Amino acid sequence: MSRPRAGGSAPGGEGTVAVVAKRGRFLVAEPFFERGARTVLDRDPRTRVGDLVFVGSQSRGHAKVLRRIGRPDVAGDVLEALMLDRGLRRRFDPAVEHAAKQARDKGRAGAMSGAARRDLTGLATFTIDPVTARDFDDAISAEALDGGGTRVWVHIADVSAFVAPGSLVDREAARRATSVYVPGRVEPMLPEALSNDACSLVPGRDRAAVTAELDFDADARVARAAFFRSTIRSDERLDYDRVDRVFAGEEPPREPWGAPLAAARGVAGALQARRLEQPALELDTSEPEFAFDGVGHLTGSTASRQTESHRVIEHLMIAANEQVAKLLEERSVPALFRVHERPDGESALRLVEQLDSLGVATPPVGEQIAPSEAAEIVAACSRSVAQHARRTGRGRVALTYLILRALKQARYGPRNLGHAGLGLTRYCHFTSPIRRYPDLVCHRALLSAVGGGEEAPRAGEMEEAGAWSSARERDAIAIERLADRVARCFLLERELFEKGFDRAFEGEVTGVIGAGAFVRFGDGHEGLLPVRRLHGWWELNQQGTILSGEGPGATIRLGDPVSVQVERVQAPRGRVDLLAVELGAGD
């Protein structure tokens, strides 16, 4: 494995996102996302006044247009600009593209042939992904066994067959470390020739895979695990909505995937039931999905909530990841584990105090919490929060934030320290090598351990690779969250234009700081209600859960209902400022 560069954050070119404006007889570039000095712009026939551009510095203090992005009133163009502003390249070097196409066309060392690759093309196989998915790196097969057990095959795209360690494509993948997903766009880790073509498990095409064959007993415990290179052929590209319709009896299952889907559903259901019996976290979260028109304007959004179809895939992928991590640890093969250390006692105690201040039931604790107890306490709190949200209909977002802040951040590292969030003693990421570099590392490590024709990663490189991959993951999450806020702001502006700027929205307090309260309102919008816009003087309590003002009943608590109006929307910054119409008291 080649080493990624040691310093810096997100990889990308030097430049600034700006809007073209005219000042006197000069064209100038005015910074778009942040305030800054405007720069005289060299004339460029591709651009006109009002365009959103990516510029680089030139001699004599002038700027040169490196790329015309679009218009600042088009959401898709602003999101593209945001990715450039945050250092994403938005394209691969031509040499990397050429190398990826060569790997696609020729395969590496005969990727689809060889005695070491088991032919599973006759096995009924299917994928389950979001309807908008473009690459498919995992597929499932399943069948019932005599005695009440189930055999499940988890097939993962064999990226390692096309990307050789130290190759040009490998070095670029290691440097990117992860794909970055923003509404309507993706910054892929691998070039399209691999990510959307050769490595994507599309239906009806023979594809190279690494298969985890797992035998589950009647209690859904893994009785046997085997790993090998394979050739598979997906029979059907299923999406979550369609699978949920099949589960609900609204659409009939079809052969050959109907019976395997039912078998996989049975195993996942048993895994879900056992998980609920263990001290694992219970977090109720959702992800936004945005729709665009052909020009790039946002037309709407929906909240993607986890359903049974999601849980089927989640539990089977977790089982495969766990078994791979178990083998790698037992055989002492250098790899990158997915580490989620237990929370410390102080964080767990603060969480209990925060929930107590809001009247949420908490487990009994002493003044001191041992590290061994902290994870169980946080997990118990997460279940109390879920129950509280279901009972009251409020507080899901705000209280989930409290749970997440009590946890340590998951990361990649060469030593297996367990995954507290999942309640597992061994865990790694193996199931998404198209979009995560640590998964590709684990593929190579696994295949080296089972005679799959790969060399083990170098132990001396794993510490740096883990730190780099973790940092790039944090960068990607920050970009994705900001992009979601920007997209929501564009939708909010459209809604205000269509329905009136003075309309009131019903919302809920999702966070409080000394400067004010964060409110989720309307159709998933979020904004800040500053205390400077409220009457009197306000103070945040010690637990960081309640703002108290002057006068009786002047409180703003996490989860409280509130009626607000929008004062200002700053879409490029993803910021909304609010005014209070009415503050409601919580239970």
Residue 76 domain-assigned (yes or no): no
Residue 264 near residue 140, CB atoms below 8 Å: yes
Paired tokens of 468: 């780099």
Residue 271 near residue 315, CB atoms below 8 Å: yes
Residue 321 CA to residue 340 CA, distance in Å, equals 14
Residue 106 CA to residue 102 CA, distance in Å, equals 6
Residue 110: per-residue pLDDT: 58
Residue 34: per-residue pLDDT: 85
Long-range Cβ contacts of 359-366 (<8 Å, 24+ apart): 359/587, 360/384, 360/385, 360/388, 360/395, 360/399, 361/387, 361/388
What's the whole-model pTM score? Answer: 0.92
Residue 227 near residue 446, CB atoms below 8 Å: yes
Query: Are β-strands 525-530 and 516-521 bridged in parallel, bridged antiparallel, or unpaired?
Result: antiparallel
Q: Are residues 233 and 380 in the same domain?
A: no
> Which residues are registered as beta bridge partners of 564?
505, 580
DSSP 8-state secondary structure symbol assigned to residue 572: G
**Which stretches in the chain have pLDDT values below 50?**
1-12, 109, 585-587
Residue 155: per-residue pLDDT: 98
Q: Are residues 392 and 313 in the same domain?
A: no
> Residue 262 is which amino acid?
A
Q: Are residues 317 and 367 in the same domain?
A: no
**Based on the number of CB atoms within 10 Å of its own CB, is 393 exposed (0-12), middle (13-18) or buried (19 or more)?**
exposed
Sheet holding 206-216, edge to edge: 117-119, 222-233, 206-216, 150-157, 138-144, 126-129, 236-239
Residue 314 domain-assigned (yes or no): yes
Query: Rounded to the nearest 5°, which phi and psi values hold at 430?
Result: -130, -20
Alpha carbon separation from 245 to 132, 143, 238, 265, 310 (Å, rounded): 17, 21, 11, 13, 13
Q: Are residues 420 and 540 in the same domain?
A: no
Q: Are residues 461 and 382 in the same domain?
A: no
Asked if omega into 94 is within 30° of 0 (cis), the reply is no
Domain edge (last residue) among 386, 407, 428: 407
**Which candidate, 23, 31, 24, 57, places its Cα nearest to that of 42?**
57
Residue 54 domain-assigned (yes or no): no
Residue 442 domain-assigned (yes or no): yes
Residue 449 domain-assigned (yes or no): yes
Residue 370: per-residue pLDDT: 81
Residue 556 CA to residue 372 CA, distance in Å, equals 35
Paired tokens of 299: 């037309």
Contact residues for 375 (Cβ-Cβ < 8 A; gap 6+): 279, 342, 343, 348, 420, 423
Q: Are residues 282 and 157 in the same domain?
A: yes
Residue 6: per-residue pLDDT: 33
- Domains identified in the chain, total number: 3
Domain edge (last residue) among 391, 407, 423: 407
Q: Are residues 417 and 354 in the same domain?
A: no
Q: Are residues 477 and 509 in the same domain?
A: no
Residue 4: per-residue pLDDT: 41
Residue 90 CA to residue 350 CA, distance in Å, equals 42
CA atoms lying within 13 Å on the CB side of residue 212:
27
Q: Are residues 224 and 317 in the same domain?
A: yes
* Residue 350: domain span: 345-407
Residue 200 domain-assigned (yes or no): yes
Residue 278: per-residue pLDDT: 73
Residue 226 domain-assigned (yes or no): yes
Residue 513 near residue 530, CB atoms below 8 Å: no
Q: Are residues 171 and 118 in the same domain?
A: yes
Residue 2 domain-assigned (yes or no): no
Residue 551: per-residue pLDDT: 74
Contact residues for 364 (Cβ-Cβ < 8 A; gap 6+): none
Q: Are residues 266 and 128 in the same domain?
A: yes
Q: Are residues 243 and 362 in the same domain?
A: no
CATH of the domain at 536: 2.40.50.140
Percentage of residues in the chain having pLDDT higher than 70: 95
